[in-house]
Amino acid sequence: MLFQSLECSFSCKSATLGLRIQRAMSSVNIPPPECMLRPLEVPYRYLFGPGPSNVPPRILAAGARPIIGHLHTEMYEIMNDIKRGIQYAFQTNNHMTLAMSGSGHTAMECAVFNTVEPGESVLVSINGVWGERVAEIAERMGAKVHTMVKSPGGYFTTEEIEKALAKHKPVLFFLTHGESSAGLAHPVDNVGDLCLRHNCLFLVDSVASLGASPLLMDQQKIDILYTGSQKALNAPPGTAPISFNERACHKMFNRKIKPVSYLLDMTHLSNYWVRMHVLYHHTGPVSGFFALRESLAILAEKGLENSWRQHREVAEYLWKGIEDLGLKLFIKDKDLRLPSVTTIAIPDGYDWKELLAYMMKHHQVEMTGGLGPSIGMVIRVGLMGYNCSKFNADKALTALADALKHCPKRRG
Was 380 annotated as part of a binding site?
A: yes
Q: Let me know: does 50 contact 57? Beta carbons within 8 Å.
A: no
Query: Sheet holding 144-149: strands in order across?
Result: 96-101, 239-244, 224-226, 201-205, 172-176, 121-126, 144-149
Q: What are phi and psi of 315, to 5 degrees?
A: -60, -45
Q: Let me know: does 154 contact 121? Beta carbons within 8 Å.
A: no
Dist. CA 369–CA 374, nearest whole Å: 8
Q: What are phi and psi of 381, to 5 degrees?
A: -120, 120
Q: How far is CA 35 from the centre of its chain?
A: 30
Through-space distance between the first and last CA atoms of the chain, rounded to whole angstroms = 99
Contacts of residue 113, Cβ cutoff 8 Å, sequence gap at least 6: 137, 141, 259, 260, 261, 264, 265
Exposure of 67 in the CB half-sphere (CA atoms within 13 A)? 8
Q: Which amino acid is at 179?
A: E
Dist. CA 378–CA 368, nearest whole Å: 9
**CA-CA distances (angstroms) from residue 340 to 7, 17, 103, 206?**
74, 62, 18, 11
Dist. CA 151–CA 58, nearest whole Å: 40
Contacts of residue 269, Cβ cutoff 8 Å, sequence gap at least 6: 98, 100, 110, 281
Dist. CA 41–CA 371, nearest whole Å: 28
Residues annotated in the binding site for substrate, as ranges? 380
Residues annotated in the binding site, as ranges? 380
